[in-house]
Amino acid sequence: MFEFVWPWTWVLLPLPLLIWWLAERKRQKQALRAPLFLYWRSIQEQQGKSTKRFPWLTFLIWALMITALARPQWVGDTMDLPATGRDLMISIDISGSMEMPDMVIEDKEVDRLVAVKALLTDFIARRKGDRVGMILFGEQAYLQTPLTFDLKTVQTMLDETTIGLAGSSRTAIGDGIGLAVKRLRERDANNRVLILLTDGQNNTGALNPLQAAELAEHAGITIYTIGVGADEMIVKNRFFGNRRINPSLELDEESLIAVAEKTGGRYFRARDTKEMEEIYQIIDELEPVEDDYQSYRPIKALFYIPLSLALLISLLSILIRTLISWRMHSSAITQTKVGSTNQEDTHV
């Protein structure tokens, strides 16, 4: 929507017209007192040089300046600002064990990382109002996405996540927590939350999980830990037949429970995609999205457009007048020279 911030400045628009009208009245009074002036004026009117002509170009420049002074602007549609009360970091294990195909989505066996990514998609989409970031860890931990309101970017970076980006042979759970704590404590937020997903145990890195949990506790960060992986899986073998195994033997539930309790969070066990989806719903209830939205309307100032036009017209007017004056002056000099030459020839 187009509007003016100071519309009252339009009362100044008729000012040049008023000045011109008063000047004309003054000239008319002077003409009544001086018949010679009236005679001279009549001659000018006969020659097409009427003094009553209104200076429309000057008035146009004045109108543009008044338009700029009124501060025109374009006001966009009302938009909701997301609440800024929570920072939510998601730390995902991408070590080699996350390739274990013990999850099922739509009757199709998939590996653990594919299941995590599929269910995190809906969870992230529901976090409007939270700043969301993502950390990946394997042999080392690194920041995949900084905390941001741009959930589409977070989703894109999640889709591009693959096994081995952070090393695949070991799992640095403590470093994954530690990096999240470092990023979260830099922010001034009412709530800081870390969701940690892993299927193994800490066997490398500078920090162990409990040390990292102490840092999180001091920073006021709540950690929800999720142990990913089925308890039972059938392995098919051509020579020895089918056999049942527990693919989650390396999952260190004791440490994950201790980390969650240390920070006031909870530990969840995700043996399949159904349990994982229920976990995300529980976290939604424990950490609800803020409903207190602030709204604003984007504003784009447009005063520079009429101001630029006024300046451009003024410069062109000055340039044209200068060129006309220069041509008249050149013509006068030429005529003077021609006249002088003719006089000399006559004298001769």
Q: What is the CATH number of the domain that holds 162?
A: 3.40.50.410
**Which residue did the predictor score with more confidence, 132 or 23?**
132
Looking at the fold, whether 239 and 169 belong to one and the same domain comes out as yes
**What range defines the domain where residue 149 resides?**
82-296
Q: What is the pLDDT of residues 39-80, one digit of tens each?
A: 445 544 554 444 456 677 888 888 888 888 888 888 877 766
How far apart CA 153 and CA 87 sit, in angstroms, is 16
Residues sharing a CB contact under 8 Å with residue 103, sequence separation 6 or more, in sequence order = 109, 110, 111, 112, 114, 115, 230, 272, 273
Domain final residue pick, 51, 75, 99: 75
DSSP state of 72: E
How far apart CA 79 and CA 295 sit, in angstroms, is 5
pTM: 0.60
Looking at the fold, whether 282 and 179 belong to one and the same domain comes out as yes
**Count of beta carbons in the 10 Å neighbourhood of residue 53:** 9
The verdict on residue 92 lying in a domain is: yes
- Mean pLDDT lowest for which of 10-24, 110-124, 175-189? 10-24
Q: What is the pLDDT of residues 189-205, one digit of tens each?
A: 668 899 999 998 999 88
CB contact burial 281-317 (16+ within 10 A = b; e otherwise): eebeeebebeeeeeeeeeeeebbeebeebbeeeeeee
How far apart CA 98 and CA 250 sit, in angstroms, is 12
The verdict on residue 343 lying in a domain is: no
What local confidence, expressed as pLDDT, does residue 198 receive? Answer: 93
What local confidence, expressed as pLDDT, does residue 37 receive? Answer: 45
Tokens found for residue 116: 């995590």
Rounded to 5°, the CA angle 310-312-317 comes to: 95
pLDDT at 145 over 90: yes
**Which residue did the predictor score with more confidence, 233 or 126?**
126
Share of the chain above pLDDT 70, in %: 80
Q: What is the pLDDT of residues 277-307, one digit of tens each?
A: 888 888 888 877 655 555 666 788 888 888 8
Average pLDDT score over the chain: 81
Looking at the fold, whether 232 and 156 belong to one and the same domain comes out as yes
Domain final residue pick, 10, 40, 75: 75
Q: What is the pLDDT of residues 208-226, one digit of tens each?
A: 999 999 999 999 999 999 9
Q: What is the pLDDT of residues 298-336, one digit of tens each?
A: 788 888 888 889 889 888 888 888 888 888 777 777 766
Looking at the fold, whether 222 and 284 belong to one and the same domain comes out as yes
Looking at the fold, whether 138 and 285 belong to one and the same domain comes out as yes
How far apart CA 153 and CA 145 sit, in angstroms, is 8
Looking at the fold, whether 134 and 233 belong to one and the same domain comes out as yes
Strand 131-137 to strand 141-148: parallel, antiparallel, or no bridges (unpaired)? antiparallel
Q: What is the pLDDT of residues 83-139, one digit of tens each?
A: 555 789 999 999 988 998 888 888 888 999 999 998 899 889 888 878 899 999 999
